[in-house]
Structure 1
Amino acid sequence: MVVGEIAEGVDLLVVGAGPAGYAAALRGAQLGRDVTLVDRDGEAGVGGVCLRVGCIPSKALIEFADVLHRANALGRGGLAAGGVTADLAGFQRHKAGIVAGLTGGVRGLLRDAGVPLVGGTLRFTRPDQAVVETTAGQARFFEFQDVVLATGSRPVSLPSLPFDGITVLDSTGALALDALPSSVAVVGAGYIGVELGTALAKLGVPVTIVEQAEHLLPGVERALSRPVSRRLAELGVDLLTAATARAHADGVLTVERGGEQVAVKAEKVIVAVGRQPNTDQLGLDRLGVTAGSDGLLPVGPDRLVRRHVAAIGDITPGPALAHKGYAEAGVAVENLSGRRAAFQPAAIPAVVFSDPEIATVGLTAAEAAEQGIEVAMSSLPMAANGRAMTIGAQHGTVQLVTDRGSGVVLGVHLVGPHASELIAEATLALEMGATAEDLAETIHVHPSVSEHLEEAARATVGRPINSPSQRPTAAD
């Protein structure tokens, strides 16, 4: 021990106050552990990227933009809105209220659970000790029994387009805009880029999306992403695929495509090319832990990196999703507390809050076939759904993938309105080992978008009601 160093004893130390971290802290308190939570931003960091500058603010912006766009577009349906306009400064106040309410609620839960929060930057000094350089400029040493790492991730920057917070923005900067730019280029057509680009286009901003891959939403089946591509075109978004953003100056983004230079007008550039785990400045070597070349920490089903050390959330393999972090938190803390638990979900749902929304869980037909499973797939266009038509959102489809022999549901893939809500039923079906017959015989509300899943199941078992009889197709 360093002379003059006085270490505070901690039973369970949790590093990071995002969704995974605060969930771990609360579960630890429920199990009777003496928990200390550390976050580099202190009280202001509660909720992490998701609640403060990511998931929640982005969905608020998406809803704001969609309401405005729909109000102005429903003239053909008899709605005389009289030219609704956007006040982005007013939106920022509205968004701040939402964030304050949610993060304040989490702080209240931590307070009620008796979990103290320490603000500052943490580095490990040995396998059972860490030092926190507090926001007040002090050094506090903590000697812990167990530790949960939940430090999250940050946006990836591009050497050619470094973030300056003025003209070149990350997603956080884009969500903080208090005035509409005259033009925007979004670099990266993953889910973040598509969501931000769609919202800004609905607010009337000319948007260009630049993507290195051959199509938007790389990793998503083309059958699912095509409706989104078509909708972006309807909204006036220019999509440049197989293209690379090179530089930005004087309101112009230079893009290389097909060996040629393309000039894209862009007052603001939003770089959304991915996120990287926050594991590089923790002093993990002192903890006896080594991150992979991708910065991720290898964990088992118990979420332990080694004895007394767990890792959860964006710093572990798998999708960087808040709901995955929530689920991992309980597993990690229970194992550190002498209980047996395993993170072995049948599937983890994923959603793109695009227009239309994409929600997917389980195997695609192609993935199942690659595993040697003989599959059947029913695919029904959303245009056949009455509820979707009444809300003017009939773009999309429902795909149901089942094992041809047993009828067990292997995957559900939705493109359309409220897909983010409908995917919960599909995920439960996979977790429960439900069959197409189970879904077909479950009475769904009419009229609703959810009944389209029932109809897809009915088509699979050969008893459709509101769609033509069809023979479920096998994977190619």
Structure 2
Amino acid sequence: MTQHFDIIVIGGGPAGVAAAIRGVQLGAAVGLVEKKHWGGFCLNRACVPTKLFTATLERTKTIRTAAKMGFPNAAATLDPSALFKLKDELVGYFSMGTQGLIKAKKVTPIQGLGRLAGAGRVAVDEKIYQAKAIIIAAGADWARPSFPGSELEGVINSSQFLKEGRIPPRTLILGGGAWAVELGQFLNACGGQVMLAVRERGILPHFDQEIGQRLRSILKSSSITIHNSCSIVSLVKDRGGLKAILSVKEKEEAHLFDRVIYLDRTPALDGLGLETVGLSDLSTNDRLATKVPGIWAVGDAVGRIPFQSHRASAMGIIAAENALGASISFNDNIVPRVAFTSPQAASVGLTENEAEEAGYDVVTGAASMGTSPMAMIQDATNGVVKVVGEKKYKELLGVHVLAPFATEIIGAAALAIQMEATLEDLARSVLPHPTISESLADAARNALDWAIYIP
């Protein structure tokens, strides 16, 4: 007998779980299909394990600078096996927690490979389910590079690195995005030699240009090699490692590595059965509906870069509401971008370049971490808080942070933009001292030409 649901969600990651729970909250019968790992890519192979490593990086830095704080005998010696064991324990704990949450929220879990099987029909392995609405939250898969030699052992993605459980002595990381920098800084702190092969747009390409430039300087000061406009010409086995011929600004260089790590991903559309309903991709309108009535798409499967689990969750909630009769638009402009680098980077709204390209008469203001008491206490004075606004009406367009705790304070900035706050609103906000967050007000005052604590 065919089982019927109001909504079937394909994919048990952040987007799918949020969509399923929200659907049940609104009175719907919801089935949630997951082929393998409850919690999705973020929990099992990205956010949780990689942020454990960035936390380890910060602890390593704290120990190495402890002498300045009165601890002359502190020493940092990392036991990788203990760290990777803790990673497995945390992933297992949160995966079990996700399964428990799904059941507690009265979502029906369906284990297996889900695919579309015609209008209002989802096949899971050999069983057919019917639903009034289908939300596709299938996530993304690794996109293996295609340069000569990319098939060699030692060319791995970050999931495979996590499984290996060891620190390579020499690593080439392809890319300059958040994951690339986070991983590069961690391996560097563990004593490994690290090179970032960065494409045209540089470090943290989805952030304000000033943030990327400042972080690049920090990386170089820690002996991480960065090559812009860099690609791999070829890769061969050599002397127990991988010899890479790199094209760096149209000049070729040879380097030897133990691991080449790639981080690109692509929407996981293979085997979804899109053709059974007349879809060739998962492009959506602002309400997250696909071209086919009754089918919505959310999260990484939609292909909006950078992939972020908090964006995916927000999309899942809105898709469920719209599937049950609402008409809510998803606003990508209020989604924060974060990088758990050292120092952390966080951004929301328009960058300075984006605002100018959109036709705004732009005004900016910045507060350097060099004048922040908390940044000095944290020994991280090379960052900045920057605001972007519209000159005439003082609309707050964007906030960009490179500083300790940036990923924590960006939430307030996101709410300010969502509530259509002005530079004046932010400038007159009363923020605690001494904190990094008080630099939000300082930067806004600077944009309005009445900075108080900026020389």
Shorter-normalised TM range:
over 0.9
- For residues 72-471 of structure 1, the aligned pairs below 5 Å read 72-133=64-125, 139-160=126-147, 161-162=149-150, 167-213=154-200, 215-245=202-232, 246-250=234-238, 251=241, 252-272=243-263, 274-291=264-281, 297-305=282-290, 306-316=292-302, 318-319=304-305, 320-344=307-331, 346-468=333-455
Contact 2:9 2:134 (C-alpha < 8 Å) held by counterparts? yes
Change beyond 3 A, Cα 1:447–1:177:
farther
Deviations 1:414-448 (A, max 9, x none): 11111111111111111111112211221111100
Contact 1:383 1:395 (C-alpha < 8 Å) held by counterparts? yes
> Which ranges in structure 2 are unaligned for 5 or more consecutive residues?
none
Read off the aligned partner of 1:318 and give its amino acid letter.
R
Read off the aligned partner of 2:296 and give its amino acid letter.
A
Q: Secondary structure at the match of 2:370?
A: helix
Q: TM-score, normalised by structure 1?
A: 0.89
Q: State the Cα distance separating 1:113 from its structure 2 match.
A: 2.0
Q: Secondary structure at the match of 2:112?
A: strand
Contact 1:382 1:416 (C-alpha < 8 Å) held by counterparts? yes
Q: Secondary structure at the match of 1:186?
A: strand
Deviations 1:160-216 (A, max 9, x none): 35466x511102122334222221111222222111111111111111111232633
Q: State the Cα distance separating 1:302 from its structure 2 match.
A: 2.0
Q: Secondary structure at the match of 2:113?
A: strand
> Which ranges in structure 1 are unaligned for 5 or more consecutive residues?
1-5, 134-138, 292-296, 469-476
1:17 matched to which residue of 2? 12
Query: Comparing 140-149 with 255-264, which one deviates more in the overlay?
Result: 255-264
Structure-2 separation of matches of 1:69 and 1:220 = 25
Percent same amino acid among aligned pairs?
28
Change beyond 3 A, Cα 1:462–1:240:
closer
Read off the aligned partner of 2:400 and give its amino acid letter.
H
Deviations 1:220-252 (A, max 9, x none): 443111221111112211112222122142313
Q: Secondary structure at the match of 1:328?
A: helix
Structure-2 separation of matches of 1:12 and 1:206 = 49
Contact 2:15 2:315 (C-alpha < 8 Å) held by counterparts? yes
Structure-1 separation of matches of 2:452 and 2:158 = 44
Read off the aligned partner of 2:81 and give its amino acid letter.
A
Structure-2 separation of matches of 1:38 and 1:214 = 37
Q: TM-score, normalised by structure 2?
A: 0.93
Is residue 68 from structure 1 mapped to residue 55 from structure 2 by the alignment? no
Contact 2:208 2:400 (C-alpha < 8 Å) held by counterparts? no
Structure-2 separation of matches of 1:222 and 1:462 = 23
| Count of aligned positions | 448
Structure-1 separation of matches of 2:201 and 2:418 = 34
Q: Secondary structure at the match of 1:447?
A: coil
Read off the aligned partner of 2:283 and give its amino acid letter.
P
Q: Secondary structure at the match of 1:12?
A: strand
